[in-house]
Every structure is written in C-alpha cells, then in structure tokens.
Chains A and B, each alone.
Chain A
Amino acid sequence: MGPETVGGGAGAADAADGAVDLRALYDASGAREILEQLDRELVGLVPVKRRIREISSLLLVERARREVGLSHEAPTLHMSFTGNPGTGKTTVAHRMADLLHRLGYIRRGQLVSVTRDDLVGQYIGHTAPKTKEILKKAMGGVLFIDEAYYLYRSENERDYGQESIEILLQVMENQREDLVVILAGYADRMDHFFSANPGFRSRIAHHIEFPDYRDEELISIARTMLERQNYRLSEAAEDALQEYVALRRAQPHFANARSIRNALDRARLRQANRLFQADAGPLNAAELSTLDEADIRASRVFSGGLGGAGREATAAAPADPEAPPDSEAPPDPGAGS
C-alpha cells in the first residue's frame, strides 16, 4: 500500500505552509484502482507487485517533492522486465503504462509493443526512419520492446540493429519526460545484452524479475481465466488439470500462463464437441459451463506430448504439444440432427 496515514479531505498541496498530503495526492491520482486491479486480476507475482508498489510510492514522493520545489528533474523510469514466456510481462507493462499515466509521469498512457522487426530495417538507410516512426507513436506513453536482445547481434558489428540502439539510447536520455522504455525478455539473454550494451544498463532505473508460476498458481490462474468466461472445472477436471500442469511443465515450449490459456481453449473445444456428439437433449446452464475430466485428459500432454507415441502424437503432428490436433476438429453442425 501507499502511505498509511489517514489523510484529511484537504487538497494535495497546502500552499500556506508548503505541506503536501501524500494520501490526498495518492487518492486523487487514481493509482489505487490500478494497484488494486493488479492484485485482484493477477495471480501470484508477489515480488513484481511489491516492486510496483515501491515504484509508485517513490513516484508519489517524487511528485510531492516537485510540488514543494525540492526536485526538478524528470526521474529515469526506463525498466527491464525479465522472465520466461507467459509470466505476465506484457500484461504488467500495460498496467504500468496506465499507472505512470495516472501518477503524471507520462502524458497519454498508451503502450506501443514492438520487436526487432518493427525497429530495424533490411537495407542501408531503412532503420533510422523505422525506429523514429515507432518512437513518434510511442511519444507520451510507453515503448515496450519484447525480446530486446535481438537488437544486438554480437556476431555482426555492422548489423543494422546497432543504429536502432543508438537512436533509442539518445531518446531514452534526452526525452525522459516524453517516453518510458520497457525492455523485456529472458533473464539470461537480457543480462548478456546489458553487459554488451552498458549504455542501456545505465539508463534503466528499475529491473523487475518475473518468476515462473508454481503449479498451484497456474491452477488458480486457470480458475480466474475460466471464471471470466463463465466456465468452471468439475472436481475431477481440476484434478486432471493438476496432473496436466505438472506434465506440461516438463515438455518443450512450456510458456507458463500462456500454456494454461491454450490448454483451456482446447478443453472448451473438446467440451463443445462432447456435448454435441452426446446429443442428449436440452442442456442447462451448468452443463454448458462445466469442463469435465475427459475434456482435459484427451490432451496429448498425457500421452507423452512431444516425444511420446501417444494416440494423438502421429508422425504428422506438429512439434508443439499445444497445437490443436487434427482429430479434434469442431463438430459438423449438420451431422447429429
């Protein structure tokens, strides 16, 4: 939480004695809603949430200091978000843009999400205009560079990425009041990127690490996702999902919450197929919204996923266990009736 003193109803800054009421400043900013929403909608991520609260307190105090004339410079707010795929980096970046906007550190609050291909060109003279174009769109908001380390290719010193890096560094230094840059990616590659590009490291004020979710957290994320879509898991389905999570984690291309999202999407498909094939007369709301054990257990993940010779892992099946298997095509609506 922010400051714990219970503030009065007075304005944020009291001109008479130059005092600033942090609580009133906090209440007026609307930052509270963002932080509460973060707590409510995002499962786990305890260290991330703690860091975000710390940063918001810092920014609130900084604003108060500005109001009484103690500080004048725009603080450096560029950040790095490191963690494995599906750990919530993009989601949190959107909330961060909103938060910085409400706290008055960016004028508009939009988030422009890019990768190397959006910034770096294919031929001489192509890169600078591309990077500048993106920067213009991000002005007043947050520029989120996913897998930022692809900008730098150590094996090729004439790589066009270097040009983009130089423009970015310049803007990060000189236009701190216009834009906040968030770099995201795997922790180890990011470390390597920072050690090869000390200019970036020195301009990043906040490094936030996104841990992998534990099994219970993934189950709880599944529950939140389903709740939002008015679905639920039967008890047996929840047990099956527990097993699924443990197995899936050990298989290739595991992407934390995103893998869960994909698993649930396919479970819904199987449920629809099952209800349709059963053709058992009128269905009530409970039946329409319940995912059953079979809807989970039909997944290839249970039959060894990638390497296994499971029933659905045919030679033609794609390498990614999350790709929808052919045998689960949606029902033909004309067939049953």
Chain B
Amino acid sequence: MRLTQGTFSFLPDLTDEQISAQVQYCLDRAWAVSIEHTSDPHPRNTYWEMWGQPMFDLVDAVGFMESLAECREAHGDRYIRVLAFDASPGWESVRLSFLVNRPEHEPGFRLERREMSGRIIRYTTHSYATDRPVDERYGRTNGAEPEAHGS
C-alpha cells in the first residue's frame, strides 16, 4: 500500500531534480530545511528521527542533496521526508513537508476493531511493518538483503 503523507504524495514520486527544485524554492524563501526518517509510518507518528541538524543558512540545494544522499545511504529502506521551517513569524512553523524516499515494499496498514462494552467498537490503524523489529521492517521475507532505495 503506497503511503500518502505530506505534500505531493498523490503524485508519482518526485525525481531528484524535482526534489532539488522544491528545496531551492524553500531556500529562496529563507526557510530552514531538514531531513527526517522513520520505519514507523503511522499517520499519528509525528516525531520522526532527525538526520543531522536542520540546515540553517543554506543558500543552494546542492548541500541539501548531499545530506539526502547520505541519509539514503544509511536508511534507504525507510521513509525519508523533508521539512521546511519558516521562522519569520517568530517561531518555527512547518511550511512544507514531503516524502523523498520510501521502502521498496510497503506493507501498509490494517484496520483493527476493538469491541468494548455495550456493543461499542473502537477503531485503530495498525502498521504491519511495526510488528517486526526496527531493522527488519522492510526487508524481503525470503531472507534477501533489503535493497537500498535509489531514485
């Protein structure tokens, strides 16, 4: 199941050239960009792991693309996203957030029904991937090495 989170997620995956252009758009507006990754794509999991510090004072997207390449090298089997923060209102607010990497195989979510007293049902989404330890979540079940994502 293809994960749709953040801006552009209903479009085909962005190419590196398109990612770079979007990041340049952010930099031109003096937004600080940062990279985050996770193996738990639950929609309510807002706190992904940071890849380095937010990149303040960056002028050109080349520096960002180098960081992204490093992150993909280390975590190519995970979801990776870009966040762009705008500090001009006096606090850091997210202006733009979009996925720049996804696992090759995305197991998706199942809906769980929990039956409560009085015929009440509670619903919850459960990510299949999180049934397994962090490092094994997106590996192939046949035992092959998880493939690094490249786009």
Contact = CB atoms under 8 A, between A and B. Distances in A.
Interface of A: 107-108, 110, 132, 135-141, 175, 178
Interface in B17-75: 55, 57-60, 62-64, 66-67
A119 to B, nearest CB: 15
A137 B62 contact: no
Nearest to B53: A133
Contacts of B58: 136-137, 139
Contacts of A137: 57-59, 63
A146 B57 CA distance: 20
19 contacts: A107-B60, A108-B60, A110-B59, A132-B66, A135-B63, A136-B62, A136-B63, A136-B64, A136-B67, A137-B58, A137-B59, A138-B59, A139-B58, A139-B60, A139-B62, A140-B59, A140-B60, A140-B62, A178-B62
A141 B63 contact: no
Contacts of B62: 136, 139-140, 175, 178
Query: Main SS of the interface on chain A?
Result: loop
Contacts of A135: 63
Nearest to B66: A136
B60 to A, nearest CB: 3
A252 to B, nearest CB: 36
Query: Max chain B CB contacts within 10 Å: which of A135, A136, A138, A178?
Result: A136
Query: Max chain A CB contacts within 10 Å: which of B57, B60, B64?
Result: B60
B59 to A, nearest CB: 5
Given A110-B59, A137-B59, A139-B59, 16 more contacts: A107-B60, A132-B66, A136-B58, A136-B62, A136-B64, A136-B67, A137-B58, A137-B63, A138-B59, A139-B58, A139-B62, A140-B59, A140-B60, A141-B59, A141-B60, A178-B60
Contacts of A132: 66
A281 to B, nearest CB: 47
Nearest to A107: B60
A114 to B, nearest CB: 12
Contacts of B63: 135-137, 139
Nearest to A141: B59
A178 B65 CA distance: 12
Contacts of A175: 62
A126 to B, nearest CB: 14
Nearest to A178: B62
A13 B57 CA distance: 36
B89 to A, nearest CB: 24
Contacts of A136: 55, 58, 62-64, 66-67
A108 B63 CA distance: 13
